A and B are shown apart, each in its own frame.
Chain A
């Protein structure tokens, strides 16, 4: 269910993988209690370093997204905010759609819009 990360995108592979897992939860593809593949299985399927998968699982555990049950594996954590998070995400999707439509009406094409958003996010990332 996960895509192979793009190694040359400039975004660290562990960040890409974390985003994918978060996205899967936000869209409802994964829900509380679901089990993620084991470290080795995940590493072999995506052809990434097992240490990278360990890092992803550990960080997501610290962030309360995953629960590591020793000897059993990694599970999506039960979170009280889950429902509202999903709603927030849906709202976000709607806003993004409206925003993109508005830019298109301004005469910008998809490539230009993508570039604008990426530049904005990169700048935001740097300012933090």
Chain B
């Protein structure tokens, strides 16, 4: 499979602040890739660099094989990419149908059927002025404008912010339909559960650095929380093994998070004569919190 997005040692400094610190990303064609991180982790800066809206301080990157730091290339990138930003800037003085009509004149591949389907599904009022739309309606309108333009890569920055659960499910369903059409989706979010539902690859970023890059199924199959109780008090040093991400020892009990190598870890635990061992899978949210906390 070909990489749609690729970056090499991508960096961005704002004065002394290092927003992005050497990112090496690779997003495969046809995947739904989740880009997770806390607020201020560098997600939006990264996306803006991919779209040529922010110039990298160093490092390089490409989208569809075109360089993100070259102006002509960047133009070609933007023809193939739809981007729905967090702030959803729209022309407030237009009505819903005016902005739809206005936007589609720029895109020869505009999907009219999709536009009609979304107008109906999202229940958007065609005659209402954008300034009079609720936050949820605004988000849906911005998504419609992004979805209907016929793109090969869809970049979403916190797409479901401000939407109620029904609308969130609508949005996810449309992302699914677009994936079925072959669109690659790069999806920044801190709504971990919705990401878990549709993403097949997870990138996790913390303070400008990548802390996880793995297929979703692999994450689910390999991450385990192990709790063991021993006859005598144990020390954290007894559990420094490959694959162990965090260790918490308290008296005779220990609580471990393993990212891989679970079988050998369990063997080790049994060798230390554990009297009780519990192994449970972890949700992506627990893994995320663990990663972020372990680093701070």
Contact = CB atoms under 8 A, between A and B. Distances in A.
Q: A and B: real partners?
A: yes
B124 interface: no
B180 to A, nearest CB: 4
A122 B200 contact: no
Contact of B279 (A39, A50, A123): A123
Given A43-B180, A51-B30, A14 B217 contact: yes
Interface-centre pick from B179, B193, B198 (highest chain A CB count, 10 A):
B198
Contacts of B32: 49, 51
B10 interface: no
Given A12-B220, A44-B173, A126 B263 contact: yes
Interface stretch (A2-10, A21-29, A106-114): A2-10
Contacts, number: 81
The A interface is mostly helix, strand or loop, or mixed, namely helix
Contacts of A5: 197
Interface residues of B, number: 36
Contacts of A49: 32, 176, 179, 198-200
Given A10-B280, A11-B281, A12-B217, A44 B199 contact: no
19 contacts: A8-B196, A8-B283, A9-B283, A12-B217, A13-B216, A39-B180, A40-B177, A43-B179, A44-B177, A44-B180, A48-B176, A48-B197, A48-B198, A49-B176, A51-B179, A119-B279, A122-B280, A123-B277, A126-B224
